[in-house]
Amino acid sequence: MTTAIDYVSRIPNNVNLADDKRLQRALEQWQPGFLRWWQDLGPVGTGDMDVYLRTAVGVDAGGWAHWGYVKMPDYRWGIFLTPHDQDRRIAFGVHKGEPAWQQVPGEHRATLRRLIVTQGDTEPASVEQQRHLGQTCPSLYDLRNLFQVNVEEGRHLWAMVYLLHAYFGRDGREEAEAMLERHSGDPDKPRLLGAFNERTPDWLSFFMFTFFTDRDGKYQLASLAESGFDPLARSCRFMLTEEAHHMFVGETGVGRVIQRACELMREHRTDEVRRFGGIDLATLQKYLNFHFSVSLDLFGQELSTNAANYYTLGLKGRFNEERIDDDHVLEDAAYTVTTAEDGRIVTREAAALTALNERLRDDYIKDCQRGVDRWNKIIEAHGIDVRLALPHRAFHRAIGSLSALRVDPQGRPLSAEEWQRRRYEWLPSPEDEAYVASLMVPVTEPGKFAGWIAPPAKGLDGRPLDFEYVRRGH
Ligand code: BYC
Ligand code: FE
Ligand code: FE
């Protein structure tokens, strides 16, 4: 298997697609439907835009990116897997030590298909959620970043669709069709997971989404990158290299909003920066609470036999499985979980296997906390003593046993009545959303930035901030 990417074919790839005419034809038949979907539900009003995008030219570490202007409908979505490792072995579960599978074992077919479909479904969902944002960009720099994220999520859909077509026969092809039929927020055919049916109406939501929800992507992809099914593992490994940029967009995006808020606080000696066109830290905290809690739901139930089975069967591992020092079977191991029992939050030991969703959620929370700490450094550097914080994991949950509870961000229990009355102290209220919406006025002059967000520290690909990252009508 080669690692060079073939850009001559209609579908760029490094899987020797040209050698498998049936598969190539099947994917070429799916392609027009994808392009129609991009036209109908992808970024609005971008047909005449030239976007300075990064495109993968090789899958090896280091040299994979090529930068240049691209009209987005002409973006070369393709199929890229990290190089094949002949010696790769399954690292966990009952098949530990056996060679990784190059085909789908018959008995795991339905389960693997379900995991791949769930993963794949999130990718176009996020593009749908973000489709109107281009019309209210705070700068050309940000506009480019949005589109970079969008085209890569489109490619992540291709990655999963390739697996469905190549390894799952007829039902795989049907699932690939269905990826373009479910839509974010559609009451009849919604996307599969909760967070992907929420709205992303403004850029603050977008930055929070790419920080919190794309980070779920990082953790889920890393777990699937351990899969015994080698083509899935190799697909996810390459997707992870792209994911890093999405989280960069989120972290620096929120960081720049914080920076601007702090500058205004200092300048005007007040926390109430709305009067000066900023987004106050209290509002930022509410958006953070919302996106964190909705993203925690994406890890599933605290105790899950699904998760135990995925692991035992060698389909989905832990984050950094190979770096963990234990038996990688977990038959007798225990893990501490936080659940709800009799209406109260309790911490107790559970079988490590059934607690795997919770373990991944813990890894995720730690990673989020590191990001919040970096945001707080920005606030601290301005000599302001407010701090942002992650809410308690039981706050505003919809999945898992904790969803039965109503708690405040510190985890203190609330009655249903109190929750109803006070929830907008902690979550964005219609007024908060209306205020943020009022700031969403497009800024499209090179080098200019909207007043509610600070410019980034530097441009992309060594370009200056006033570089024309997106141009029209060329
Ligand atoms: N919403 O045993 P459990 C990304 C269902 S993000 C609705 O805990 P499991 C991206 C569940 O299906 C990464 N339903 O489930 C980010 C199950 O249904 P059944 C996406 C939910 O399977 C930004 C039932 O509840 N990738 O890439 O252990 C932009 C029992 O739950 C939800 C993946 O998710 C929910 N949130 O865990 C673009 C990886 N949670 O069996 C892209 C693949 C649970 O009762 N997916 N349910 O009918 C998985 O590994 C697992 O499906 C999950 C759920 C971790 C999501
Ligand atoms: Fe993705
Ligand atoms: Fe992403």
Over the stretch 309-348, which tens digit does the pLDDT of each residue have? 999 999 999 999 999 999 999 999 999 999 999 999 999 9
- The DSSP code sequence of 192-212 is SSGGGGS---SHHHHHHHHHH
- How many angstroms separate the CA atoms of 293 and 212, rounded? 9
**For the segment 203-229, what is each residue's pLDDT rounded down to a tens digit?**
999 999 999 999 999 999 999 999 999
Confidence of residue 66 (pLDDT cuts 50, 70, 90): confident
Residue 212's domain comprises 17-472
Residue 10 domain flag: no
Going by CA atoms, what residue is nearest to atom 22 of ligand 1? 306
Residue 41 domain flag: yes
**CATH number for position 175:** 1.10.620.20
Q: Which residue has the tokens 């835009």?
A: 49
Residues 14 and 3: beta-carbon distance below 8 Å: yes
Residue 143 domain flag: yes
> Is the CB–ligand 1 distance for residue 298 below 6 Å?
yes
- Ligand nearest, relative to CA of residue 154: 2
**For the segment 124-177, what is each residue's pLDDT rounded down to a tens digit?**
999 999 999 999 999 999 999 999 999 999 999 999 999 999 999 999 999 999
Residues within 5 Å of ion ligand 3, judged at the Cβ atom: 214, 217, 246
Say if residue 65's pLDDT is above 90.
Answer: no
Domain count, the chain: 1
305 CA from centroid of ligand 3 (Å): 27
363-381: average pLDDT? 98
Residue 212 domain flag: yes
| Nearest atom within ligand 1 for CA of residue 116 | 43
Angle, CA of 217, 221 and 222, to the nearest 5°: 120
- How many angstroms separate the CA atoms of 3 and 81, rounded? 8
Residue 87 domain flag: yes
Give pLDDT, residue 222: 98
Residue 1 domain flag: no
202 CA from centroid of ligand 1 (Å): 25
- How many angstroms separate the CA atoms of 259 and 382, rounded? 9
Residue 368's H or E segment, with its range, is helix 356-381
Say if residue 1's pLDDT is above 50.
Answer: no
HEC readout, 377-429: HHHHHCCCCCCCCCCCCCCCCCCCHHHHCCECCCCCECCHHHHHHHHHHCCCC
Q: With H, G, I as helix, E, B as strand and everything else as coil, classify residue 53.
A: strand
- Ligand nearest, relative to CA of residue 125: 1
Residue 225 domain flag: yes
Choice from 293, 306, 364, 368 to test ligand 1 binding pocket (greatest atom count within 8 A of CB): 306
Query: How high does pLDDT run on average in the chain?
Result: 96
365 CA from centroid of ligand 2 (Å): 19
Residue 5 domain flag: no
List the structure tokens of 3.
């690692």
**For the segment 339-359, what is each residue's pLDDT rounded down to a tens digit?**
999 999 999 999 999 999 999
Helical H segments across 225-300, by residue range: 230-268, 281-296
- Ligand nearest, relative to CA of residue 196: 1
Give pLDDT, residue 62: 59
